[in-house]
Structure 1
């Protein structure tokens, strides 16, 4: 029972098919672990244990009858609480929406159910996916299983903490400025922001219509590909959804990186936002590892992080204000301080600001696209620092923007963040890989090669 929670989704699926493990046995072990550890981590806003067990029993009966829907059949998944699950509240971790019961499943939840996955419950987030680690909200902030006094990243904070602590093998998060990849970086797991438009956002509470993505968080790259396979696909009712035939995202995982061309964006962490020395050293080591595996690594230059951040900020604030303006005018006191502070600047953005940011966005996209003529994948920093203490609001506010994830929300390219080491204080370090549009499979291919060569994914946090 103590080992079961650490099973990958792929291993659990194989054990189910071989009848050496049942979905009920796995879920029972996970629920016992959640009962013990979640009071220390606050990953869940709402655990839907009874419904999950009913689904596990149904999944077990289907397996017994020889009906297996796919590799996620019987596998539990945690859901960030801005994604609708029918019959459960979608609170967005906010007093504003405490009584907001979802009438229907989001498209990604529909797809998970069709794949036979078990919806385990709703997970902590930063308020409306834009606040920060906060103590003035209806639910406590999630904590980092590597050190509970530190934050787990955000805004998909419960997703990152829960996967890292083996409360569940898979989770969904969302990413508007890095909110899948930040918890992946802080918690030492794998977090992918897919190509913009690859995964439907219908049924997900929006933050920024042209920047929002839904993405998978897992402990292994193979599991990330399995979860992406389940949720990807065109949705004509999502205006941002792309009609693409991209699928089978794990088919290149065992290919290695020999002769792939990797562009190392050193200026992100050397000049634009000088990184913690341990972060910088881990990035150089990642480049050496990939070179040793046969990749060609060269230094490339993109627009500065300052420029990407400014474009993201103007677009996000303008679009978020269009969503939150009525509540901010009528119920400003029902927001937490951090979310209110981050949303209000949108009231002062002009149409000219917004259009100017979108025009400059097309130019920086062209600059990134130009680099992809000469390289297959980009390597760069994710976070510039290990996770800071939850009770140090000033240091968290300083370090949160020190990241290189936002560029790929602005451009829409796929990007994955994963563990690249442990700092001297025992907290995870991270690396990021980004790729061409709808070539998420190659991004995961590089991540898988790095994972095999380093084994950081075998490290377990000291939470238990």
Structure 2
């Protein structure tokens, strides 16, 4: 089959360019063949020129609801007075005058600053020259699907929350606008990369918690918060900050919530999901966000159509009512009928402190106390999960995540995100603010240049399936699996003047119980389990636990979490000492 390119313009590709291209493959073109291949290459160049004259097409399904216009914003990133925790990137107030339904009426929402809000600058946690090669941040023309859905449900979008540099840190000191502080203890990490989302929701959590415990308000110290936030998670970036912040953060099943209109790292591990002050709100927000959008290639045949998405919050309430009718909704029997597996290997990961281990052990005991069947289970591959996640993703991370190279599937490609090539100037900025991004460039180049790169990647992908199968096999006998989230209590922010090792050290091991479930796609919820002593200073900080369920079975996670909380909320395990 031959392809004929028709063009009346003079050729623009030179023989030297053709020879250079052939030389990349070690090919020396015979002289008599050069004109023919040159003709074909010039035909391609003419076709490219033709396409480049077309205006960028924006899918009308992503255009903002006219009733939410016009939109204004205030830049708050780095404003220590109006934004004391450095929670906010840009604040706004967007709502629809004609919502489709009112399930989120009265709820305020923030979104991670890699999520498109039409008319509001998008930063990705980095500097504009690293995101677009220009001095200005891009201003999207579209609303991400998750933004459209919360507006259709009657919520008020309060703005974009700061996130970590290119979404590549489990801590919260790398954002271009400065560190994001923990709402419970300033100067300490609130976790990343959805750091501002965690801080925004935690601000509301702190306010309500202090009121319940008879403590004075500290609103001026923590600033404005929101009821809910929408974060992103590629290795733990919803669950880790939720754990540090004492809130509820769900990484849903891969493909359950569309990722359209959000800056990607790698489609295989991209997740977006709810971060809330309560379990019930988490279930409510999930019901609004979930369901196929017709655009996101991460969705699969298992992804429900929107009309088929279950009402998680209503089902949870119905389940409680049924247990009440049977006399089982009590502190001794709320968990009756639930099977909980504690992953032994999750309690043996590198860097897990005895303090955190004791909190998770106590959480397992609370499941037993409310009547659940709790057993320790061994999943040896759990300890290999981080290595599988690393090798399966690093070869793609730079092109897809740091250069926004579009994958060959129909999608909305975020055309305004155009990072320049890695350079000395980029290194100088990243080395100061987030060495993890520099490391990612080096890692990706190292792996891709290995002679057996494709074989190693193929092997890693087979082990992704093996890892998924290992969890699926255990989940045939259990409703949820229990693990720690973070291996230690939240650390102090490092200083920018520290060495690379000093900046990276607090993050080591942070994802050892979370990143596995990004490649396998299983849903996982981080929720408050207790308190730990803040290192290097007085005070207490929240510690979270993780509940993992079968793919597309978020409902079992919500049931288990609700039953556990009937035995006492994690944040109410307080010894009277705070900060």
Q: Same fold (TM over 0.5)?
A: yes
Q: Distance in 1 between matches of 2:558 and 2:159?
A: 27
Cα distance change on mapping 1:138 and 1:154 into 2, 3 Å? closer
Residue 361 (structure 1) aligned with residue 475 (structure 2): no
Describe the shift of the 1:37–1:75 C-alpha distance in structure 2 as closer, same or farther (beyond 3 A): farther
Count of residue correspondences: 417
Counterpart for residue 335 of structure 2:
257
| Pair 1:414–1:119, CA change in 2 (3 A) | same
Q: Aligned-pair distance for 1:449?
A: 1.8
CA contact (8 A) 1:200 1:232 kept: yes
Judged with a 3 Å threshold, the aligned counterparts in structure 2 of structure 1 residues 342 and 445 are, in CA distance, closer, same or farther, namely farther
Question: Matches of 1:428 and 1:158 in 2, distance apart?
Answer: 17
Deviations 1:370-398 (A, max 9, x none): 10111111011111101110026737634
Three-state SS of the structure 2 residue aligned to 1:431 is: strand
C-alpha distance in 2 between matches for 1:111 and 1:137: 27
For 1:268 and 1:295, how far apart are their aligned partners in 2?
20
User: Which structure's CA Rg is the greater one?
Assistant: 2
C-alpha distance 133-293 of structure 1, shift in aligned 2 (>3 A): closer
Aligned partner of 1:121 among 138, 159, 175: 159
Contact kept? 1:160, 1:189, Cα under 8 Å: yes
Partner of 2:515: 406
CA shift in 2, pair 1:108/1:322, >3 Å: same
Q: From the superposition, tell whether residues 416 and 459 of structure 1 become closer, same or farther in structure 2 (CA, over 3 Å).
A: same
Quick check: 1:252–1:442 contact (8 Å CA) kept in 2? no
Change (3 A) 1:37 1:445: farther
Q: What's the RMSD between the two structures over aligned residues?
A: 2.6
Q: Using the alignment, how far apart are the partners of 2:173 and 2:104 within structure 1? A: 35
The answer to whether the 8 Å contact 2:527/2:545 transfers is yes
In structure 2, the residue matched to 1:154 is 192
Shift of 1:429: 1.2
Which stretch has the larger CA shift, 446-455 or 119-128? 446-455
Higher helix share: 1
Return the offset for 1:272: 3.0
Mapped to 2, the partners of 1:395 and 1:138 lie a distance apart of: 15
Does the 8 Å contact 2:479/2:549 carry over to 1?
yes
> Normalising by the residue count of structure 2, what TM-score does the alignment of the two structures yield?
0.68
Matches within 5 A, 1:212-223: 212-223=270-281
Instruction: Report the alpha carbon displacement of residue 285 of structure 1 after superposing the two structures with TM.
Output: 1.0
Q: Tell me by how many angstroms 1:69 deviates.
A: 2.1
Distance 1:133 1:267, change over 3 A: closer
Map Cα deviations across residues 206-262 of structure 1 (whole Å, 9 max, x no partner): 011100100111111001011111100112211111332442122135354211111
Give the unaligned 5+ runs of structure 1.
1-34
Q: In the alignment, which residue of structure 2 is the partner of 1:298?
A: 375
Q: CA deviation at 1:342?
A: 3.5
- Normalising by structure 1, we get a TM-score of 0.84
Q: CA deviation at 1:70?
A: 2.4
- C-alpha change, 1:73 and 1:195, in structure 2 (3 Å) is same
1:408-427, Cα deviation, whole Å (9 max, x unpaired): 11211110011111113301
Q: Does 1:422 align with 2:531?
A: yes
Residue equivalent to 1:431: 545
